[in-house]
Amino acid sequence: MAVLKKTVVAVALPAVLFAGWYVLSAGSQNFYSPPLRTILVAFGDTWSVERLTADVAPSLLRLFAGYLLAAVIGVAAGVAIGLSRRLRAAVEPVLEFFRAIPPPVLVPVIMLFAGIGDGMKVIVIVFGCVWPILLNTVEGVRAVDAVVLETARSYGVTGTARITRVVLPSASPQIAAGLRQALSIAIILMVISEMFAASNGLGFTIVQFQRSFAIPEMWSGILLLGLLGFVLSLLFRLAERRALRWYEGLRAAQRQS
Amino acid sequence: MLEVKGLRKVYRSGSREVEALRDLTFTVDNGELVCLVGPSGCGKTTLLRCVAGLLDPTSGDVRVDGKAVDGPPPGMAVVFQEYGRSLFPWMSVRDNVELPLKQKKVPKQRRGELIEQALDAVGLTGTESAYPWQLSGGMQQRVAIARAVAYEPRTLLMDEPFAAVDAQTRADLEDLVRRLWKRLKVTILFVTHDIDESVYLGQRVVMLSSSPTVVQDELVIDLPAERDQLTTRADPRFIELRTRVYEQIQTAKKNAGK
């Protein structure tokens, strides 16, 4: 019963919005905002299996490559910076500077170095995603409880085990927060980098539709992007909940006492 | 044997200096259970962290079996006051106890035995897969004690381990420490601010002055080895001893006021 209720609550607003759009746009004569019915028909026609493999798969591959690379770099550098006060003092101003640069600005610059291939797109995604991951990891590592660290030290938990069994798990809630922020940035940058220069991909395709005045198709691409982002964040939330079950439990236990 | 000689610790922050420990000298023989008791804020925890090798003293030295301590010595386990922060909340009870053993390169089968024995010794059989935060405060501190016991230390340091648990649990845990000490024949240095607890547990009580700390007095607790919450605490000798300790602590506080 509770599950059913939850599902109804979660689905209600999207359903209302969808129905509202459908009804209000039904008689639309505007060339740029066609009826939702037309868009849905275009959606079915446009996003065939061939198109999904030709345009959506490359986009997703770039997205995951960039995101994973950013995660590895961000967490590794974040742990190093978080653990060393001296390193932190040296690099923090530089980090703040780089973080303040909006990554899309760098697309033309990165194109000069990395060309217009997949490498460029992955670099753009990495450059945008790495900051929230890095900075959250630094904060998480800095916030590791002193008693936890002393316990580890006095029981000979040093070296790699100290990082993997103590520091990283302790910082994992913050790292997850950084990863969550980075995921939405990754999707945005995937699309933007493909809009600048590409021969395939979701962003590229949407721009192509727009330029050739295939308006219902363009809208269907935007719908697909929205769905994609939604599914990815849902998957992320599921993975996060599994990995951080201990954290939820701990917080619930602390609230009770 | 644990030797503390001329230990001094001064905290510096900017131009301000705070002398936490002035001059501490005492020894704990192998297999002895010594309680350190002192007024609150007398630097007990600072002392314990110096002994554990977690903090460098300003001068003086700590020796374990003749070897100077300059980092956590092998064969020493610590039970911290803050069990909630000392146990790792992302690990099950079993993993918490096992991690130090893995680091010590204890073979897997032996690890299993040690974990089982240690949890059994503290009365926590069957909680292996629980997370620490699913347990009550007293049970969590038992897990911390099990972790220390499984580590098979020669020296066990306990830093006000029962300060945060309720009185009944506390009595149980005190008896648990006495039992484990007798069975495992470890050397225990037990830090507390509770005078009764120090007399009930210790073979000897070392009383500390207020900060800057020196050893105020030492007292041998000549109570029978079999101790019991009811009879021992009602023993006239117990009351005499606790009065002695109490007076010394009061003197220490008064001297600090001057």
DSSP string, A101-139: S-GGGHHHHHHHHHTTSHHHHHHHHHHHHHHHHHHHHHH
Beta carbon pairs, A and B, within 8 Å:
70
Q: Is the pLDDT of residue A11 over 90?
A: no
**3-state secondary structure at position B213:** strand
Q: Identify which of A197, A55, A68 has the alpha carbon closest to the alpha carbon of residue A125.
A: A68
Element (DSSP H or E) covering residue B115: helix B108-121
Chain B positions in Cβ-Cβ contact with residue A254 (cut-off 8 Å) = 133
Q: How far apart are CA B214 and CA B36, in angstroms?
A: 12
Per the listing, tokens 């969590």 go with B140
Q: Identify which of A162, A148, A241, A254 has the alpha carbon closest to the alpha carbon of residue B88.
A: A148
Q: How far apart are CA B146 and CA B123, in angstroms?
A: 9
Cβ distance B131 to A247 less than 8 Å, yes or no, reads: no
Give the residue-averaged pLDDT of B29-43: 89
Q: Model confidence at B205, in pLDDT bands (50, 70, 90)? A: very high
Contact B181/B35 with Cβ under 8 angstroms? no
Q: Is the pLDDT of residue B189 over 60?
A: yes
Contact B122/B176 with Cβ under 8 angstroms? yes
Q: Is the pLDDT of residue B26 over 70?
A: yes
User: What integer pLDDT is reported at residue B108 of this predicted model?
Assistant: 94
Long-range contacts of B39-43 (CB under 8 A, 24+ apart): B39/B193, B39/B208, B39/B209, B39/B210, B39/B249, B39/B252, B39/B253, B39/B256, B40/B193, B41/B210, B41/B211, B42/B208, B42/B209, B42/B210, B42/B211, B42/B213, B42/B252, B43/B9, B43/B208, B43/B211, B43/B212, B43/B213
Question: Does any CB of chain A come closer than 8 Å to the CB of residue B85?
Answer: yes
pLDDT in tens, B44-71: 888 999 999 999 999 998 999 888 988 8
Residue in A147, A170, A172 closest to B80 by CB? A147
User: What integer pLDDT is reported at residue B213 of this predicted model?
Assistant: 86
Q: Model confidence at A131, in pLDDT bands (50, 70, 90)? A: very high
Residue in A147, A150, A157 closest to B99 by CB? A157
User: What integer pLDDT is reported at residue B106 of this predicted model?
Assistant: 93
Question: Across all residues in chain A, what is the average pLDDT?
Answer: 90
Q: Is the pLDDT of residue A9 over 90?
A: no
pLDDT in tens, A54-69: 888 989 999 999 999 9
Peptide bond before residue B212 is cis, with ω within 30 degrees of 0: yes
Domain ranges of chain A: 51-256
Between residues B221 and A199, the one the model is more confident about = B221
Contact B101/B88 with Cβ under 8 angstroms? no
User: What integer pLDDT is reported at residue A171 of this predicted model?
Assistant: 96
Tokens of B14: 């900017």
Cβ distance B77 to A155 less than 8 Å, yes or no, reads: yes
Chain A positions in Cβ-Cβ contact with residue B91 (cut-off 8 Å) = 165, 169
Question: Does any CB of chain A come closer than 8 Å to the CB of residue B82?
Answer: yes
Task: Note the helical H segments in A25-56.
Answer: 36-46, 49-51
Chain B positions in Cβ-Cβ contact with residue A162 (cut-off 8 Å) = none
Question: Does any CB of chain B come closer than 8 Å to the CB of residue A100?
Answer: no
Cβ distance B99 to A249 less than 8 Å, yes or no, reads: no
Q: Is the pLDDT of residue A5 over 60?
A: yes
Give the residue-averaged pLDDT of B128-157: 93
Q: Is the pLDDT of residue B147 over 80?
A: yes
Contact A155/A71 with Cβ under 8 angstroms? no
Cβ distance A247 to B99 less than 8 Å, yes or no, reads: no
Cβ distance A154 to B131 less than 8 Å, yes or no, reads: no
Fold for A51-256, please state it. Answer: MetI-like fold (1.10.3720)
Question: Does any CB of chain B come closer than 8 Å to the CB of residue A247?
Answer: yes
Give the residue-averaged pLDDT of A174-181: 95
Q: Model confidence at B105, in pLDDT bands (50, 70, 90)? A: very high
Q: Model confidence at A182, in pLDDT bands (50, 70, 90)? A: very high
Tokens of A252: 């619930």
Question: Does any CB of chain A come closer than 8 Å to the CB of residue B110?
Answer: no
Cβ distance B133 to A150 less than 8 Å, yes or no, reads: no
User: What integer pLDDT is reported at residue B257 of this predicted model?
Assistant: 56
Q: Identify which of B203, B237, B222, B249 has the alpha carbon closest to the alpha carbon of residue B27.
A: B203
Residue in A147, A158, A254 closest to B86 by CB? A147
Chain A positions in Cβ-Cβ contact with residue B76 (cut-off 8 Å) = 154
User: What integer pLDDT is reported at residue A30 of this predicted model?
Assistant: 85
Chain B positions in Cβ-Cβ contact with residue A158 (cut-off 8 Å) = 103
pTM of the model: 0.87
Q: Is the pLDDT of residue A231 over 90?
A: yes
Tokens of A39: 């868009």
Q: Model confidence at A105, in pLDDT bands (50, 70, 90)? A: confident
Residue in B52, B72, B99 closest to A165 by CB? B99
DSSP class per residue in A209-246: HHHTT-HHHHHHHHHHHHHHHHHHHHHHHHHHHHHTHH
Tokens of A194: 């493909």
Pairing of β B213-220 and β B204-208: antiparallel
User: What integer pLDDT is reported at residue A170 of this predicted model?
Assistant: 96
Residue in B86, B103, B131 closest to A157 by CB? B103
Cβ distance B103 to A155 less than 8 Å, yes or no, reads: yes
For B129-141, letters b (16+ CB in 10 Å) and e give: eebbbbbeebbbb
- For residue B132, give the chain A residue with the closest CA: A250
Chain A positions in Cβ-Cβ contact with residue B54 (cut-off 8 Å) = 150, 153-154
Instruction: For residue A100, count CB atoms less than 10 angstroms from its CB and return exposed for 0-12, middle for 13-18, buried for 19 or more.
Output: exposed
User: What integer pLDDT is reported at residue A201 of this predicted model?
Assistant: 85
Give the total residue count for chain B.
258
Q: Identify which of B33, B50, B82 has the alpha carbon closest to the alpha carbon of residue B201.
A: B33
Pairing of β B33-37 and β B187-192: parallel
Give the residue-averaged pLDDT of A67-93: 93
Question: Does any CB of chain B come closer than 8 Å to the CB of residue A160?
Answer: no
User: What integer pLDDT is reported at residue A198 of this predicted model?
Assistant: 78
Q: Identify which of B94, B82, B99 has the alpha carbon closest to the alpha carbon of residue B118.
A: B94
User: What integer pLDDT is reported at residue B258 of this predicted model?
Assistant: 53
Question: Does any CB of chain B come closer than 8 Å to the CB of residue A154?
Answer: yes
Question: Does any CB of chain B come closer than 8 Å to the CB of residue A143?
Answer: no
Contact B26/B206 with Cβ under 8 angstroms? yes
Chain B positions in Cβ-Cβ contact with residue A154 (cut-off 8 Å) = 52-54, 72, 76-78
Domains of chain B and any CATH numbers? 1-71+168-258 (3.40.50.300), 76-152 (no CATH)
Q: Is the pLDDT of residue A8 over 60?
A: yes
Chain B positions in Cβ-Cβ contact with residue A243 (cut-off 8 Å) = none
